[in-house]
């Protein structure tokens, strides 16, 4: 049967007024001359019409019985579309494409939606098959919120899993390019970023900000659990910041940083972000307002000047007093043991306290007698903090103005004065003592170690 026979059949057998052309373009004229224009006008009264519907119905349909007005397809349904719409072979195909079930998404004649889709691609189309639950949450990815699935996914086939248009990381960086600065000098990229964004973020929606899969620190522990658990599981002291709101990301950048360990800012600035007020410690004591202390005392300890708080303190957890990295006596008096001062002598020369002769070692000596050795090597040896402020001071060598003594909290004043050839101190624990470094100049008062052993004087005496 000739192509025009289908048209004649429609016009002869049905009393339906032919569609009137809205204009005189060749396409409009041809539409009137087809079955669609003659009888099946509903197929072309759409915003988007299949081109073949406007020109030749028998490209897809063939008459089987003129009297019964029945037709069949010119090929099997799964083979019909691909005769004209051949798709390139890809590793991953959308299931309807793999099954050649094009009509699951497309109307064969026309539609009010682009590409003759059965529903609005920005609304219900994908959700017809895909579970809406993954599209719901307090925080929804922008393309998901507006139904723009094809911003990230190919609708038919792709070389990437999940029909991604590009590899996952490349897809995300199409919009979030500022995250990747791995090409910059001295830039440290979070290894998780190199493995892909969806390790931490839900690509569609989440109940957590930034579409994170969980809140920190729980999210971070999915990768760092072994290391952090090892540090914290049996630790006597766990840094409060570790479990504060924001967790790890209060101190560390999530994607990358110019600083090691993905630090957001330098250590001193970072630590002072919390230690800018008096805080309760794990043992019930109150921590000093460190920012105020450093602001009021210009002579800072070396690690602080170098921005290395972790030279002395562990950042996450520890078993020692104040989470110190090595042993250091907590008390004012402590019997001398070099192993008890590992913290200090990781940087300072141990001979400062091991040798009685201080020439060439220290200026804190009376002639050659090493006064560091004298203070430490006693039955009631003084710890370093008895004379030195461990963070900052107004005086040279971090000499303290006063030190808390006993449970009463009495501030024992040191009254240290420095001279060109030595100095003197008049603390509450002994009367004024002076020292001179010149061999031919002897300081007044006793000169033997026994005579200079400090004796505590009660307050007010």
Q: What is the pLDDT of residues 344-374, one digit of tens each?
A: 999 999 999 999 999 989 999 999 999 999 9
Residues 380 and 417 in one domain: yes
Residues 346 and 425 in one domain: yes
More confidently predicted of 246 and 365: 365
Residues 45 and 106 in one domain: no
Range in 2-6, 259-263, 364-368 with the lowest mean pLDDT: 2-6
Q: Is the pLDDT of residue 287 over 80?
A: yes
Residues 205 and 113 in one domain: yes
More confidently predicted of 31 and 280: 280
**What is the C-alpha to C-alpha distance for residues 227 and 247, in angstroms, rounded to an integer?**
16
Tens of pLDDT, residues 176-226: 998 888 888 889 999 988 888 999 999 999 999 999 999 888 888 888 877
Q: What is the mean pLDDT of the chain?
A: 82
In a domain, 384, yes or no: yes
Widest CA span in the chain? 136
Q: Over range 130-141, report the average pLDDT.
A: 84
Residue 414 CB neighbour total at 10 angstroms = 20
Residues 162 and 48 in one domain: no
Range in 93-107, 232-246, 311-325, 441-455 with the lowest mean pLDDT: 441-455
In a domain, 193, yes or no: no
In a domain, 34, yes or no: yes
Residues 297 and 382 in one domain: no
In a domain, 455, yes or no: no
Band of the pLDDT at 8, cuts 50, 70, 90?
very low
pLDDT on residue 440 = 47
Q: Is the pLDDT of residue 274 over 80?
A: yes
Band of the pLDDT at 121, cuts 50, 70, 90?
confident
Peptide bond into 116 cis (omega under 30): no
Q: What 3-state DSSP class applies to 417?
A: strand
pLDDT on residue 407 = 67
Domain-ending residue, one of 292, 323, 354: 323
pLDDT on residue 259 = 93
HSE at residue 1, side-chain half, CA atoms within 13 A, is 17
Q: Is the pLDDT of residue 305 over 90?
A: yes
Exposure of 461 by Cβ count < 10 A (0-12 exposed, 13-18 middle, 19+ buried)? exposed
pLDDT on residue 357 = 94
Q: Over range 223-236, report the average pLDDT.
A: 81
Please tell me the total count of domains within the chain. Answer: 4
Residues 231 and 312 in one domain: yes
HSE at residue 382, side-chain half, CA atoms within 13 A, is 17
pLDDT on residue 26 = 52
In a domain, 372, yes or no: yes
Q: Over range 369-394, report the average pLDDT.
A: 87
Residues 206 and 227 in one domain: no
More confidently predicted of 386 and 441: 386
Q: Is the pLDDT of residue 120 over 90?
A: no
Q: Tokens 């330098």 identify what position? A: 266
Q: Over range 422-448, report the average pLDDT.
A: 73
In a domain, 94, yes or no: yes
394 is written with which tokens? Answer: 């107004």
Tell me the sheet residues that pair with 63. Answer: 71
In a domain, 194, yes or no: no
Q: Is the pLDDT of residue 412 over 70?
A: yes
Domain-ending residue, one of 43, 74, 105: 74
Alpha-carbon torsion, ordered 66, 67, 73, 76, to 10 deg = -120
pLDDT on residue 351 = 93
Residues 98 and 175 in one domain: yes
In a domain, 11, yes or no: yes
HSE at residue 245, side-chain half, CA atoms within 13 A, is 2
Exposure of 271 by Cβ count < 10 A (0-12 exposed, 13-18 middle, 19+ buried)? buried
Residues 362 and 307 in one domain: no
pLDDT on residue 68 = 86
pLDDT on residue 348 = 92
| Domain assignment of residue 365, given as a range | 338-436
pLDDT on residue 457 = 35
Q: How far apart are the first and last CA of the chain?
A: 127
Range in 45-49, 148-152, 256-260, 324-328 with the lowest mean pLDDT: 45-49
pLDDT on residue 445 = 53
Residues 108 and 206 in one domain: yes
Phi/psi for 130 (5° steps) reads -90, 135
Residue 247 CB neighbour total at 10 angstroms = 18
Band of the pLDDT at 18, cuts 50, 70, 90?
very low
Residues 224 and 130 in one domain: no
% of the chain surpassing 90 pLDDT:
36
Domain-ending residue, one of 294, 323, 352: 323
Q: Over range 418-445, report the average pLDDT.
A: 78
Tens of pLDDT, residues 35-89: 766 677 777 778 888 888 877 888 888 888 888 888 899 988 888 888 888 887 7
């Amino acid at each position: 049967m000739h192509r025009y026979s289908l048209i004649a059949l429609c016009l002869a057998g049905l009393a339906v007024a032919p569609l009137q052309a809205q204009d005189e373009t060749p396409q409009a004229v041809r539409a009137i001359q087809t079955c669609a224009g003659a009888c099946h006008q509903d197929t072309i009264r759409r915003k988007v019409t299949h081109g073949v519907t406007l020109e030749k119905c028998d490209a897809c349909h063939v008459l089987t019985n003129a009297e019964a007005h029945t037709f069949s397809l010119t090929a099997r349904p799964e083979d019909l579309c691909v005769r004209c719409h051949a798709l390139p072979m890809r590793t991953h195909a959308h299931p309807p494409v793999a099954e050649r079930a094009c009509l699951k998404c497309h109307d064969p004649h026309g539609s009010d939606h682009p590409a003759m889709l059965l529903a609005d691609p920005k609304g219900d189309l994908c959700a017809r098959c895909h579970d809406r639950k993954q599209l719901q949450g307090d925080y929804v990815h922008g393309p998901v919120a507006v139904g723009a699935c094809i911003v990230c996914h190919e609708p038919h086939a792709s070389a990437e899993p999940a029909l991604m248009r590009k590899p996952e990381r490349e897809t995300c960086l199409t919009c979030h390019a500022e995250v990747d600065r791995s090409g910059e000098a001295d830039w440290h990229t979070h290894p998780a970023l190199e493995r892909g964004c969806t390790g931490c973020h839900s690509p569609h929606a989440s109940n957590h900000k930034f579409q994170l899969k969980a809140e920190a620190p729980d999210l971070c522990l999915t990768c760092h659990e072994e290391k952090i658990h090892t540090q914290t599981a049996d630790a006597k002291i766990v840094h409060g910041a570790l479990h504060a709101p924001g967790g790890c990301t209060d101190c560390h950048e999530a994607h990358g940083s110019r600083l090691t360990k993905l630090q957001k800012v330098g250590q001193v600035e970072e630590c002072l972000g919390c230690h800018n007020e008096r805080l309760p410690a794990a043992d019930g004591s109150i921590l000093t307002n460190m920012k105020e202390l450093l602001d009021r005392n210009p002579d800072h300890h070396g690690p602080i000047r170098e921005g290395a708080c972790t030279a002395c303190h562990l950042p996450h957890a520890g078993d020692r007093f104040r989470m110190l990295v090595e042993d250091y006596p907590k008390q004012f008096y402590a019997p001398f043991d070099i192993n008890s001062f590992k913290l200090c002598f990781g940087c300072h020369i141990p001979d400062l306290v091991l040798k009685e002769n201080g020439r060439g070692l220290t200026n804190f000596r009376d002639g050659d007698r090493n006064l560091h050795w004298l203070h430490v090597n006693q039955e009631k040896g003084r710890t370093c903090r008895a004379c030195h402020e461990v963070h900052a001071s107004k005086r040279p060598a971090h000499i303290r103005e006063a030190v808390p003594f006993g449970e009463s909290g009495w501030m024992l004043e040191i009254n240290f004065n420095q001279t060109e050839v030595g100095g003197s101190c008049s603390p509450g624990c002994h009367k004024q003592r002076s020292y001179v470094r010149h061999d031919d100049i002897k300081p007044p008062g006793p000169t033997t170690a026994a005579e200079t052993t400090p004796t505590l004087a009660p307050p007010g005496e």
